[in-house]
Structure 1
């Protein structure tokens, strides 16, 4: 046990600390950011980037870490609306199939290359054409990009699409220096952007050290001088690391949230678009029989997922959107309630006796959700064998699997979320090229409707309703992003799915 200090020594230590604070205040300019590196964010991340080239990294959870380095044309506010980032404004033509983004003047990347229209054009074209791009499927609405002067980027579209300002934000278009991106392999380990921080050291897969970027367009509102981004150890040790000051910020699991609160840490429940689902391939038996699909729908007890996996966080869901989000469709709520008796009846009508259907559930790693699915389907007479395959992504995205599980962090554009799940080329649609009837038409109508239109919500919800008719996905539960921080870090903006360091201070 640590040795106890006498009361006089405690008082003396307090006086010394107080004197140090006074001297520090006299020497500085009143801003933590001006104190020469005193404000350090020590972030333990479970999503430490595998790739630092945003084109290769894609729009998954790692975009939050890459947003330290890279800025985008737009970003989202607390309501999920597109707001200016590198682009200070944008304007559509009269037919909605062309949008011009006007960039902020006199910006530059951290290597000194100007942030201009040519750089943005190069970034979009690279995301569409680079061989190992994970983003090309997100940009199918973009036909071509031209420039007009130094600061205007003109994006020509294949169709009327008012979703583009939402699309070209942090998740999909983090813009790298074209000079650095000329060698994508080097960029992948030496990132160069125009974001709030600059990488000064990078140990692949382990640690990144970043310093404040004085040339960032909103540098006056970035009060953190240094970031130490560390690949988090196992979840059980993250809370103790936060307690001891090894870290002062970390993403945590629901099972660790109670321990984090008990340790006196702030637990930030960040709103998001996370949703987990059971993915079915309707091109393979037995899911080519709609009655079998419905039988699985009625066999799913969503509350069990929440009770066993949520630890007081999250909720049952049958949609990819949270209930308070504009794209959530109230008419589709609880369309397939838990009803194992009805599930058994449908299987019998489809000609399957108990035990007749035997399935292999392929997942990337051992996870309790798979055991819940196995148990719930066993209760209605479907046998499920769980197979863990670390290379699961290859057969999943090749649409070779019959049954799998998937969880997503959503997208800033609701249309992008819907097409990714239900579209014929959707990466999350295990049944490609299958899509529900009328889906293309419903999505086209959303694209043609401005988010400012009074009809936008109803048109968008109708598209969600059409997508949910898909036989390829059964949503189970949603959970927020949970972040634990020491009390030395001020409150974070509650932007859905994003970690925004604007205005955040480390005392």
Structure 2
């Protein structure tokens, strides 16, 4: 054999060996690259890593490893348990909550965790320090009038009025985590790229468009993290991410495409599934023409075959919603009825709204998959576009990468937009407030919808402690929201995450938080 032939043969054997090794389902040295490194396949870069300035799942999943709040959710539920606070008490009038803080905790930069650190983290999101681009501050700290450092390890929060969801808000990974006061001072707005918390993993570096690297924090106060390093690897396409999972280039992936589930399972991958605490929707900009007209919003709602989307676009891995609330959230009303698919009635409403021959509008969407929409925004928009064409309505689609999408909808580009919501805390207020007038400024009210009666009811529900009374209030809120049709309620997605068979200790959580501190590879 010639030297050239021998070289080709050796190259073939080498490449074949890599492929075979990558396909081995139990080889921890090939999955993710090393036994002490966990690689998580994500759909895109986060918007940032400062809890005060982000509102997306990609940011939350990385921050889950870096930061902690005063309290946290119990595994598998939205019940509250201690975290950086060991205990708390509520005054008889419900307006003061006092937290006892865990002692001996340090931030990743060596700064001591204490009451002053809590005060800095919270007050930067309260007037007068609060900034307009802090999307959750209005919600998380609604009604907070004072944050007091009673002593080094005691913090007292004073509220204007009792707040039923406030303690649950404190467990959220957006807005509520405690950041290093030294890092806030050092980095300012650059904290978005230099996060410093108290969590099990500390930030190492961020290669934009490629990956984020975290390392185990040796000084962590709790159970030591199982892995030495975590890498969040950004892979836009679902199918590519699934392929990399099967070959061992990543260990865990989110954004599982419904079309890939059977293939993943047939290759020995584990696909975790649970009912999703989310809502997938199309929002109309109700503050400007043409969708300031309720009849036009109702017509579009009736022209979209939502059941078909659930059955075929999502292949049954979703639930058809009748309310903005998932049916397991306390306060959900089974009596609310959205506008059913009825193209003939939709045409009549079009005529009533002044468009007997149809009309043309533009909807913006996002190009990547989302937990509430695993097929991505472009595919969803195309399916809706096809339905609307049947009643003579032309919907133009303009798509953005995820990081560019938020400025587009904040500026109300186009006439409508596709979006979704992942519940933060398991409380009905966390969903219904998305239609509150007060949330227009902070960008959470994407439809720019305003109804004074609905605002009044939401505030009543927020300050009412009795569960039965709250449920009655929220039933009325859901009824108004469906009747006014600021959104087309498309689906509640089933939460899914896929992982290699040697991953241990991972579990889905209703809030879509992902805690990797206890996850290991065998």
TM-score (norm 2): 0.82
Tell me what 1:235 maps to.
238
Tell me what 1:449 maps to.
464
Q: Over residues 438-492 of structure 1, what are the superposed CA-to-partner deviations in whole Å (9 max), with x where a residue is unaligned?
A: 22232222222337x4544444444434443443212111213321111111242
Structure 1 residue 283 displacement after superposition = 2.9
Judge which range, 117-126 or 139-148, deviates more.
139-148
Consecutive unaligned residues of structure 2, counting only runs of 5 or more, are 1-11, 17-26, 28-33, 368-376
Q: Give the counterpart of 2:53 among 43, 53, 56.
A: 56
Consecutive unaligned residues of structure 1, counting only runs of 5 or more, are 6-16, 18-36
**Rounded Cα–Cα distance in structure 2 between residues aligned with 1:345 and 1:408:** 31
1:485 correspondence with 2:499: yes
CA contact (8 A) 2:323 2:338 kept: no
Q: Does the C-alpha gap of structure 1 residues 103 and 469 become closer, same or farther in structure 2, counting only changes over 3 Å? A: farther
Q: Over residues 343-367 of structure 1, what are the superposed CA-to-partner deviations in whole Å (9 max), with x where a residue is unaligned?
A: 2222233343123x22222334470
**Rounded Cα–Cα distance in structure 1 between residues aligned with 2:310 and 2:357:** 27
Tell me what 1:317 maps to.
321
Structure 1 residue 502 displacement after superposition = 5.5
Count how many residue pairs are aligned between Structure 1 and Structure 2: 473
Q: Secondary structure at the match of 1:483?
A: strand
Q: Secondary structure at the match of 1:367?
A: helix
Structure 1 residue 280 displacement after superposition = 1.2
CA contact (8 A) 2:42 2:232 kept: yes
Tell me what 2:445 maps to.
429
- Write the mapping of 1:51-90 to structure 2, written as runs, cut at 5 A: 51-58=48-55, 60-77=57-74, 78-90=76-88
CA contact (8 A) 2:40 2:253 kept: yes
- Write the mapping of 1:360-399 to structure 2, written as runs, cut at 5 A: 360-365=362-367, 367-388=378-399, 391-399=404-412
Structure 1 residue 71 displacement after superposition = 0.8
**Rounded Cα–Cα distance in structure 2 between residues aligned with 1:256 and 1:421:** 34
1:181 correspondence with 2:184: yes
Q: Give the counterpart of 1:302 among 292, 303, 306.
A: 306
Q: Does the C-alpha gap of structure 1 residues 231 and 358 become closer, same or farther in structure 2, counting only changes over 3 Å? A: closer
CA contact (8 A) 2:201 2:517 kept: no
Structure 1 residue 46 displacement after superposition = 1.6
Tell me what 2:153 maps to.
151
**Rounded Cα–Cα distance in structure 2 between residues aligned with 1:197 and 1:62:** 15
Q: Over residues 191-221 of structure 1, what are the superposed CA-to-partner deviations in whole Å (9 max), with x where a residue is unaligned?
A: 211011122344344223323224333225x
Q: Give the counterpart of 2:167 among 165, 168, 171.
A: 165
Tell me what 2:226 maps to.
223
Q: Give the counterpart of 1:253 among 252, 257, 262.
A: 257
**Rounded Cα–Cα distance in structure 2 between residues aligned with 1:363 and 1:305:** 17
CA contact (8 A) 1:437 1:466 kept: no
**Rounded Cα–Cα distance in structure 1 between residues aligned with 2:169 and 2:116:** 19
CA contact (8 A) 2:52 2:134 kept: yes
Tell me what 2:113 maps to.
115
Q: Secondary structure at the match of 1:223?
A: coil
Q: Give the counterpart of 1:404 among 417, 425, 441.
A: 417
CA contact (8 A) 2:106 2:198 kept: yes
Q: Secondary structure at the match of 1:99?
A: strand
Q: Does the C-alpha gap of structure 1 residues 223 and 417 become closer, same or farther in structure 2, counting only changes over 3 Å? A: same
**Rounded Cα–Cα distance in structure 1 between residues aligned with 2:477 and 2:182:** 41
**Rounded Cα–Cα distance in structure 2 between residues aligned with 1:100 and 1:464:** 33
CA contact (8 A) 2:361 2:414 kept: no
1:354 correspondence with 2:357: yes
Q: Does the C-alpha gap of structure 1 residues 166 and 464 become closer, same or farther in structure 2, counting only changes over 3 Å? A: farther
Structure 1 residue 82 displacement after superposition = 2.6
Q: Over residues 413-447 of structure 1, what are the superposed CA-to-partner deviations in whole Å (9 max), with x where a residue is unaligned?
A: 43132112343434243443x42352223222222
1:93 correspondence with 2:88: no
Q: Over residues 374-426 of structure 1, what are the superposed CA-to-partner deviations in whole Å (9 max), with x where a residue is unaligned?
A: 22222223222223356553352234642222222232243132112343434
Q: Secondary structure at the match of 1:330?
A: coil
**Rounded Cα–Cα distance in structure 1 between residues aligned with 2:450 and 2:135:** 22
TM-score (norm 1): 0.84
Tell me what 1:45 maps to.
42
**Rounded Cα–Cα distance in structure 2 between residues aligned with 1:291 and 1:210:** 51
Structure 1 residue 177 displacement after superposition = 0.8
- Write the mapping of 1:179-218 to structure 2, written as runs, cut at 5 A: 179-182=182-185, 183-218=187-222
**Rounded Cα–Cα distance in structure 1 between residues aligned with 2:397 and 2:220:** 48
Structure 1 residue 340 displacement after superposition = 1.5
Tell me what 1:104 maps to.
102
Judge which range, 154-163 or 62-71, deviates more.
154-163
Q: Secondary structure at the match of 1:174?
A: coil
Structure 1 residue 265 displacement after superposition = 0.4
Q: Secondary structure at the match of 1:261?
A: helix
